[in-house]
Homo-oligomer: A and B are copies of this chain.
């Protein structure tokens, strides 16, 4: 195990000669997408043919773990094609995570060197977590959760009367798809057929929440279990606090304010919870047709997708930590305080700078994306806004316009999904940042050789 980590680290070291961590991520994901696109375009992966653009769309959607589809996965791809998609999801999920981990750590260490002040707070990656522990957690936890998920899915599908072969494949595929919050489904109506199946609702929620909360939270909890003296980090507290609050508010809105869900009687609460959970964890499955929702509810969904869940998880959005920083700025500004605090802690300037940048970038991207699609595509503004927020947040729910998008519109969504998975700031830095100097590269090299 330790050996493969070293190989991975070596590979990463090789890759980034002359590249910044952000550029590494950028080209890494681009390679995944391109390889996926080529494989999916091969005729023996398909049940029926589709355009090259559609294959590219599906490949990007899988690697970015978004789940938006212009064509039906089940009708277009045979078992091999579906297996490729699952692999892309897994690479996008875990590959993203290991990349993120490397980058996060190298960045943090770079910061140690350059700005010792930042590391003095626990606002980013907690000091107490080491790179080896972190990577071990990532891989171990993914394996455990996906195996457990597949077993539970298999039991649930069998209980529902599904044939064994179909249930076997379906349970593995959906377990990976859920834990990586990809939301790809083999069913053309997502999980609408299982709206009142509490067991399946529970499996999806558990997997998606664990996947979206991310490994900072998980590692932190793992350390508490192993070592009683270890205290839960400030980051983890903020993430949990924000997640529970938003999920509660979201569920309440769906329960009380959405007529489509209000008429459901028995499964009303389950449906309300599931729809809020799906938007927030960005898993993107649905048990109710989002095309039926009222305009007010669409805006609530856009907000939930806009925020997403935790940094270092598989979810998109501006992240709860950014939202927290933004709220703290507002509060401090209104109170006339000079220092910006949250839960009694001072948030450092650099952290606020990153948060506000992310907020501004994200907002502008949603606006520009929506604008670009309205130019060539005729749909109502609410549907386009929903689609754009879903793509940039890598959520994958839709009001049913994905398949009808123009060629230009599909390209816009492809680029948004890519940016969404990379993270708006990482994307920006990969494209526009100055090339790093020799000196900086030396520092980076030292960082990796832990």
Contacts of A367 in B (CB 8 A): 299, 303
**Is the C-beta of A31 less than 8 angstroms from some C-beta in chain B?**
no
Q: Can you spell out 22 A-B residue pairs with CB atoms less than 8 angstroms apart?
A: A296-B375, A299-B370, A299-B371, A299-B374, A300-B371, A303-B367, A326-B360, A329-B353, A329-B356, A329-B357, A330-B360, A333-B354, A333-B357, A333-B425, A335-B432, A335-B433, A335-B434, A336-B429, A356-B360, A380-B380, A381-B381, A381-B382
| A386 CA to B438 CA, complexed, in Å | 51
**Is the C-beta of A140 less than 8 angstroms from some C-beta in chain B?**
no
> A335-B433, A381-B381, A433-B336 in contact; A330/B361 too (CB < 8 A)?
yes
Interface residues of A in 422-439 (CB under 8 A from B): 425, 428-429, 431-434
**Is the C-beta of A359 less than 8 angstroms from some C-beta in chain B?**
yes
**Is the C-beta of A68 less than 8 angstroms from some C-beta in chain B?**
no
Residue contact A334 to B429, C-beta cutoff 8 Å: yes
Closest CB-CB distance, A396 to chain B, in whole Å? 21
Residue of B nearest to A303 (CB): B367
Contacts of A349 in B (CB 8 A): 349
Tell me the interface secondary structure of chain A in the complex: helix
Which of A335, A336, A361, A431 lies at the interface centre, i.e. has the most chain B CB atoms within 10 A of its CB?
A: A336
| A349 CA to B295 CA, complexed, in Å | 39
**Is the C-beta of A247 less than 8 angstroms from some C-beta in chain B?**
no
Interface residues of A in 199-255 (CB under 8 A from B): none
Closest CB-CB distance, A273 to chain B, in whole Å? 21
**Is the C-beta of A363 less than 8 angstroms from some C-beta in chain B?**
yes
> A380-B381, A381-B381 in contact; A433/B334 too (CB < 8 A)?
yes
**Is the C-beta of A261 less than 8 angstroms from some C-beta in chain B?**
no
| A429 CA to B257 CA, complexed, in Å | 32
Interface residues of A in 377-432 (CB under 8 A from B): 380-382, 385, 425, 428-429, 431-432
Contacts of A374 in B (CB 8 A): 294-296, 299
Q: List 6 additional contacts besides A336-B433, A356-B360; criterion CB under 8 Å.
A: A296-B375, A300-B371, A330-B360, A333-B357, A359-B360, A380-B382
| A300 CA to B371 CA, complexed, in Å | 8
Closest CB-CB distance, A118 to chain B, in whole Å? 12
Contacts of A357 in B (CB 8 A): 329-330, 333
Which of A334, A354, A374, A425 lies at the interface centre, i.e. has the most chain B CB atoms within 10 A of its CB?
A: A334
Closest CB-CB distance, A75 to chain B, in whole Å? 32
> A326-B360, A385-B381 in contact; A334/B428 too (CB < 8 A)?
yes
Residue of B nearest to A115 (CB): B338
B-facing mask of A316-342, CB < 8 A → 1, else 0? 000000000010011001111000000
| A441 CA to B282 CA, complexed, in Å | 50
Closest CB-CB distance, A248 to chain B, in whole Å? 18
Closest CB-CB distance, A374 to chain B, in whole Å? 4
